[in-house]
Chains A and B, each alone.
Chain A
């Protein structure tokens, strides 16, 4: 019963975010950047500005809709990078073993030992703020869990009869990895990636807060929240709505991830998240 709930509610929230992001230009009553009128700054929510305006006099509702684009991009792209790195390293390490496995394991341990936010912070400091840096910072620092899962899945799949059968049938290693192993561990990887998307959105917000976020003036929820912090008392709506958007989007990803896990493999342990 709860299984169903996770999946549909998480799916619903995720679809909502995707919908908001894709159709922002049509849904939003204003332009997120140019419709800034300082005369209208910090207005509370009303009929015209549903969620109020920010200090620049921009419509928060509009910016939240557009912000979904950033959050989705950050979430999806960074997780694709993570998954590709993690799966490639983990699968090859698990499959080939030996020194390569030791190397990958060592690297994974190092990556795990450095908190990913701090790692991302360092990478952002090198690359400077902005979306591409953010994608790299979040994409290259969070693959260790995916790698571990890919590795352990590969190890357990490797002893499965059908992998050995493929070897005896003359399949090359790469062919086995891509046609036999990869499809069979996509489930847990997908779950990790979905949960990771939530993590990436949160990390984006945190980095924005630390001053290393997305390129303004284009809105990201994290930077909206950060901007709003100074006007907490005068314009609480400017902090509440972006925060709520982050919360709901992350909740959506997390529930979806949980739901996928429950339906793909009821026995998969609660790992990172």
Chain B
């Protein structure tokens, strides 16, 4: 196996919350991400799933350098991306780019599509007019837009088209990693399919590595090579997609999968069968809760271990 291009090690993010106390004294910390570790290989799509508020976006922002981690390291090709040796924004920009959830908020309403693509190129030293022209046209074609449409402003596009523009912008600097934060959850079902297809096509075409954040397990199953299930800032289960979907071990993962309103599941009428039989925990360990009780986010989580149950399939257990 080749060396991973992105390594996240023991990532912690805590947000100071000011409340209580006279003069707003007493500070509490919200533990958003607690000791996250994973890596990403070239050309791979790694999905991070989990419920709202479990720290998915925070992780994404940390990878993008938009959120300084409280602890831990993020390495790109073995070089640190965080801490004192972190590269500047410019260098980071060529390593990783991001596609955002809300296609309406992710484009500057006062810039034409062309401008949004041209500015980063110029910023990164592409000065030649013809070259800029060529690269933008090619990129627009790649995402299924015409170069003529580039002269328009974002409000003249539909949600799906905007998401395409967002993708074009993410790819214009030819990054190796693209972080997708819920790239399709704001889109209509029919348009969702187009974007998913497009993302898969582009991944193949440019050998991109994706970190995809989503709470929609059916999309995750469709797109990812490996899946990370997060609960309350922690990875509770991680593994190749088949392992996760066909052989979920953690009660929370099972709960998530059972909750997917998949037409087929309901039409087959064997709902919730999955949840019932839980394979026993390894000796000396016990299962964690299934996530139906919300944890206290102001305390660090209970000590637990991530155990490899074979084939890169990791599951978190509490010590018995």
Contact = CB atoms under 8 A, between A and B. Distances in A.
The answer to whether A and B touch in the complex, with CB atoms under 8 Å apart, is: yes
B66 A167 contact: yes
Interface class of chain B by DSSP: mixed
A172 interface: yes
A160 B93 CA distance: 18
Contacts, number: 68
B166 interface: yes
Q: How large is the interface on B (under 10, 10 to 19, 20 to 34, 35 or more residues)?
A: 20 to 34
A170 B102 contact: no
A170 B110 contact: no
Contacts of B89: 167-168, 170-172
A172 B61 CA distance: 17
Contact of A170 (B93, B107, B109): B93
Contacts of B195: none
Interface in A168-190: 168-172, 175, 179-180, 183-184
Interface string A156-169: 00001110111111
Interface in B54-109: 61, 64-66, 88-90, 92-94, 96-98, 100-102, 105-109
Contacts of B90: 170
B108 A180 contact: yes
Nearest to A184: B110
B152 to A, nearest CB: 16
A256 to B, nearest CB: 22
Contacts of A179: 119
Given A164-B66, A164-B98, A169 B109 contact: no
Contact of A161 (B65, B120, B166): B166
B14 interface: no
A119 B61 CA distance: 44
Main secondary structure of the interface of A (DSSP, over half): helix
Interface residues of A, number: 17
Given A170-B123, A171-B123, A162 B105 contact: yes
A132 B255 CA distance: 71
Contact of B106 (A162, A170, A175, A184): A162
A106 to B, nearest CB: 13
A35 B123 CA distance: 61
Given A168-B97, A169-B120, A170-B89, A184 B66 contact: no
A72 to B, nearest CB: 28
B27 interface: no
Contact of B110 (A165, A171, A183): A183
B102 A169 contact: no
Nearest to B90: A170
Contact of A168 (B98, B108, B109): B98
A169 B97 contact: yes
A161 B107 contact: yes
B169 interface: yes
Interface string A228-269: 000000000000000000000000000000000000000000
Contacts of B109: 184
Contacts of A170: 88-90, 92-94, 120, 123-124
Nearest to A181: B108
B178 to A, nearest CB: 10
Given A161-B102, A161-B106, A169 B66 contact: no
Contacts of A184: 108-110
A168 B106 contact: no
Contacts of A166: 108
Interface of B: 61, 64-66, 88-90, 92-94, 96-98, 100-102, 105-110, 116, 119-120, 123-124, 166, 169-170, 173
Q: Which 3 A-B pairs have the closest CB atoms?
A: A161-B106, A161-B100, A170-B93
Given A168-B89, A170-B90, 16 more contacts: A160-B106, A161-B100, A161-B105, A162-B107, A164-B100, A165-B166, A165-B169, A165-B170, A167-B66, A168-B64, A169-B97, A169-B120, A169-B169, A170-B92, A179-B119, A180-B108
